[in-house]
Structure 1
Amino acid sequence: MKSNLFISALFALTISLASCNSSNAKPQKKVETEKPDSAATTKIQVALLLDTSNSMDGLIDQAKSRLWNIVNTLTTLKYDGKTPDIEISLYEYGNDGLSEKSNYIRQVTALSQDLDLISEKLFALRTNGGSEYCGAVIQDATKELKWSSENNSMKLIYIAENEGFNQGKINYKEAISDALKNDIYVNTIFCGNKTEGINIFWKDGADRGKGKYFNIDSDRAVQYIATPYDDEIAKCDEKINKTYINYGSKGLEKKRNQAVQDQNAKRVSASNYTDRAVSKSKAVYKNESWDLVDKVKNDANAIAKIQKEELPAELKDKSTAEIQAIVTEKKKERETIQKEISVLAKKRQQYIDTEAKKTKTQDDLGNTINSSIMAFAKVKGYTVEK
């Protein structure tokens, strides 16, 4: 009996001690997901919905002429002192060469940070008469694109053409309402008379989308202001191209495309080419998917991971240490050129701003987009650093 009592007491003591130890033990640290820096994850996303029917050659030309100027405007915006990621998407609509089942709409590119790809696809657009359904293309862009969920991100749709805004089976009011539910603001650009655009619901579309309504003469050639700094910036661009080291299965193709887009910009005008060169000096022009210098910025061990066959011929027989030294040298060289372009670009913009005050600002596709971007940025709490 005493033995049983002793065992019972010992068992009770053991339970008690275990309970005490449990209550006095250090609590386990909660595994918390680190909250990302809002500025680091903030995006500026712009979807350009362009009518490619027969009458819109001028609109497409203006888009080609202003792409890099728009990019440069976007790069002046900061959030918490940092440059947000910039993503651009292209849609074409109203083209008879597209499928009737798709409402004559095609996603040319998804939202992408690959600015050379955007340029390539934009320059490849061709017009071909058709039916323009604004509600349908706004709906597609809203539903198909991967829009940011970050509250501080700026999400904008720009739609441009010259026919009635209410055409097609998809109600533009419902499409715009769906866009707003995702914090996407819809801006409308009517290619024609301002009053006519209002009468055929283009302003109503912008009002419902909490965006801006513009009208432009899409057949008017874009006017540029040449500056004393353009030639110097162009020379810097030639030098910066030599700092790119292609790698991977598509590296050489991408590097060649970079040169092709230089030529596309140059064929439009010397000023447009200069705008592109300025864009290439910015942090948003990044090509880590094919350029070894950009790749190493994000992954210090990238060189060791890359297979020899993925390297260009001139690096295949080099050791990892030798390749690292070459990449480091190219990185320093690029940063020096980028700083040089940055200084020249500021002087260039000051010159353009001064000259622009002497004449009436032209309302072309680029100017309308740039002005509205600045207005939205102010509302969203972005700052401008030129």
Structure 2
Amino acid sequence: MKHLKHLLGIALFTIAAGTVYGCNLKPREFKNTTLMTKSIADKPAKQFVKIALLLDTSNSMDGLINQAKAQLWDIVNEFTHAKCGNEVRPSLQIALYEYGNDNLASNEGYIRQVIGFSSDLDEISEKLFSLTTNGGEEYCGQVIQTSLKQLDWGKNADDLKMIFIAGNEPFTQGRLNYRDATSNAKEKDIIVNTIFCGNYEQGISTKWKSGATLTGGEYMAIDHNKQIVHIDTPYDDIIIKLNGQLNGTYISYGALGREKKALQSVQDSNAAEMEPAVAVKRSISKSSRLYKNSNWDLVDAVEDSEEVLAELDDEDLPTELKGKSEKEIKQYVQSKKIEREKIQKQIQGLNTKREAYIAKNQKEETGELENALLSAIKNQAAKKNYKWD
């Protein structure tokens, strides 16, 4: 999805050596070489776009949760095409909160951090699929403030930091005034975007628009119960088949590796159970640079640092590599890397054809939540010179 109407971003990128430009491309002025060297050394090695999703999980929000589950991969895939300033590609970090659910602790304001900022796409998917709904009190100001306190937002002025809060009760509920929470967000350079699940004018009258404009964010109203429209294409079955082959290139190591490899398959199944098109979108995400698993997959780990091989015990290795020399393991990992890159390239090529087919045959917009998220993020990212190609 490279259409300008589909947007989204979450970005993390390495600053090129010797560069003294932020994502905003504004050069920094230095009086002498010593000061310039110091500034480069002090500048964070990475920049981030961090997005916290705060989802109402009260009884009426089943449709919202289903949209989030189905459209996660559209959002990820859009970010594959993002770049910032010096053309370096960004990565992805998402945090997830649920609020307004009677199953949550009342002394915590019926609020729970589901997952902190993470780039682990399988785990983010797992946490989304774990959400269930139940009636409760919905305290928008308090959940915003909780996310401000609990999450590591960082202090880099070039980072793009956003909160998206979605729900359908008045924004004014709870003891903590939403104006105080949004003021705290603005002080931290965090933009609050609000998504009212219902009538646009009703959202305004219940202060959802006010909650966004106080930080320069966007107010949106969506039909959270709208049926998501997916277009089947002639390329879907081939992409899903290639995804199975792609899984075969992952070499798990250690106890975490066994768990994560199993989780990879579970999340494939979760996507497929929603609809085949969702499984296709997840497969496309897995073929992108954003699907990185260095903490459990040897191919990704060795790409980061070959030293990991010298640190492995035989018991940490999968059956096919037990008793092998470091040289033999290295050769095996390299062969899997080559195989993976070939499959990923095939999937990306088929996706180009798939997108063209969808563009030709699509008669209406896709997911309500997806469009709201992507539109706001693209607009706000543009202010810091993030671009999409």
Q: Same fold (TM over 0.5)?
A: yes
| TM-aligned CA deviation for residue 41 of structure 1 | 1.3
C-alpha distance in 2, partners of 1:301/1:34?
A: 30
Report the counterpart of residue 71 of structure 1 in structure 2: 76
Which structure has the bigger radius of gyration?
1
Which amino acid in structure 2 is aligned with residue 256 of structure 1? A
Partner SS for 1:349 = helix
Report the counterpart of residue 382 of structure 1 in structure 2: 386
For residues 267-325 of structure 1, give each alpha carbon's deviation from its aligned partner in whole angstroms, at most 9, with x where no partner exists: 11111111111111111110011001100011122111111111112211111111111
Which amino acid in structure 2 is aligned with residue 290 of structure 1? W
Report the counterpart of residue 43 of structure 1 in structure 2: 48
Alpha carbons of structure 1 residues 95 and 209: separation in structure 2 relative to 1, 3 Å: same
Report the counterpart of residue 60 of structure 1 in structure 2: 65
Relative to the length of structure 1, the TM-score reads: 0.88
Is the contact between residue 44 and residue 156 of structure 2 (CA under 8 Å) also seen in structure 1?
no
In the alignment, structure 1 segments of 5+ residues that lack a partner are: 1-28
Alpha carbons of structure 1 residues 337 and 199: separation in structure 2 relative to 1, 3 Å: same
C-alpha distance in 2, partners of 1:353/1:120?
A: 30
Is the contact between residue 53 and residue 95 of structure 2 (CA under 8 Å) also seen in structure 1?
yes
Partner SS for 2:93 = strand
For residues 342-373 of structure 1, give each alpha carbon's deviation from its aligned partner in whole angstroms, at most 9, with x where no partner exists: 222222223323333xx342561111111212
Tell whether 2:373 aligns with 1:369: yes
Report the counterpart of residue 27 of structure 2 in structure 1: none
Alpha carbons of structure 1 residues 373 and 285: separation in structure 2 relative to 1, 3 Å: same
Partner SS for 1:380 = coil
C-alpha distance in 2, partners of 1:141/1:191?
A: 21
Is the contact between residue 77 and residue 377 of structure 1 (CA under 8 Å) also seen in structure 2?
no
| TM-aligned CA deviation for residue 37 of structure 1 | 11
Tell whether 2:193 aligns with 1:207: no
Q: Which moved more, 1:40-49 or 1:89-98?
A: 40-49
Which amino acid in structure 2 is aligned with residue 47 of structure 1? A
Is the contact between residue 93 and residue 106 of structure 1 (CA under 8 Å) also seen in structure 2?
yes
Which amino acid in structure 1 is aligned with residue 339 of structure 2? E
| TM-aligned CA deviation for residue 33 of structure 1 | 5.6
For residues 165-220 of structure 1, give each alpha carbon's deviation from its aligned partner in whole angstroms, at most 9, with x where no partner exists: 11001111111111111111111111111111111001111111211111111112
Which amino acid in structure 1 is aligned with residue 78 of structure 2? T
Matches within 5 A, 1:167-182: 167-182=173-188
Runs of 4+ displaced beyond 4 Å? 29-34, 36-40
For residues 223-260 of structure 1, give each alpha carbon's deviation from its aligned partner in whole angstroms, at most 9, with x where no partner exists: 11222222221122111100000002211010000000
In the alignment, structure 2 segments of 5+ residues that lack a partner are: 1-33
- Choose which of 291, 297, 303 in structure 2 pairs with 1:297: 303
| TM-aligned CA deviation for residue 30 of structure 1 | 10
Tell whether 2:276 aligns with 1:267: no
Is the contact between residue 198 and residue 204 of structure 1 (CA under 8 Å) also seen in structure 2?
yes
Q: Which moved more, 1:222-231 or 1:234-243?
A: 222-231
Q: Which moved more, 1:327-336 or 1:74-83?
A: 74-83
C-alpha distance in 1, partners of 2:107/2:37?
A: 48
Tell whether 2:79 aligns with 1:84: no
C-alpha distance in 2, partners of 1:363/1:38?
A: 39
Higher relative contact order (CA 8 A, sep 6+): 2
Q: Which moved more, 1:168-177 or 1:77-86?
A: 77-86
Which amino acid in structure 1 is aligned with residue 130 of structure 2? A
Q: Which moved more, 1:74-83 or 1:89-98?
A: 74-83
- Choose which of 146, 152, 158 in structure 2 pairs with 1:146: 152
C-alpha distance in 2, partners of 1:85/1:37?
A: 22
For residues 325-349 of structure 1, give each alpha carbon's deviation from its aligned partner in whole angstroms, at most 9, with x where no partner exists: 1000000111111111122222222
- Choose which of 307, 311, 315 in structure 2 pairs with 1:309: 315
Is the contact between residue 102 and residue 110 of structure 2 (CA under 8 Å) also seen in structure 1?
yes
Q: How many percent identity over aligned positions?
A: 48
The root-mean-square deviation of aligned C-alpha atoms, in Å, is 1.9
Relative to the length of structure 2, the TM-score reads: 0.87
Structure with bigger helix share is: 1
